[in-house]
Amino acid sequence: MSLEYANHCIQMQKLELSKYKAALVKAKEEKESGEKTISSYFLNAEIDIPIDIVIKELEKKVKIGEKLLDNFIKERRSEEHTSELQSPCNLVCRL
């Protein structure tokens, strides 16, 4: 993975993660206000989803998203290190 691509992945994952976190906060606020379900549209039909299920699924998405972000950051660090080793002042010879 190139350093530029790793940076792109990190930015995209941060964006996705922020969306899930915002949705999770909103769902928790709605639950605290007494809501039991969240209305959603699926294939042009309105369905009510139990709010506890929505919160549980969003928590999973946030957890997975945070792990992916960590992996992208580790990959970028690896690329940065490799780039440093391959720079003219730190030329690496591989046999």
pLDDT in tens, 14-35: 999 999 999 999 999 999 999 8
- pLDDT at site 63: 93
Q: Does residue 81 carry a pLDDT above 70?
A: no
Quick one: average pLDDT of 67-86? Answer: 74
Instruction: For residue 39, give the H/E element and its range.
Output: strand 37-42
- pLDDT at site 75: 82
For the entire predicted model, the pTM comes to 0.68
How far, in Å, are 35, 36, 41 from residue 72 at the CA level? 37, 37, 33
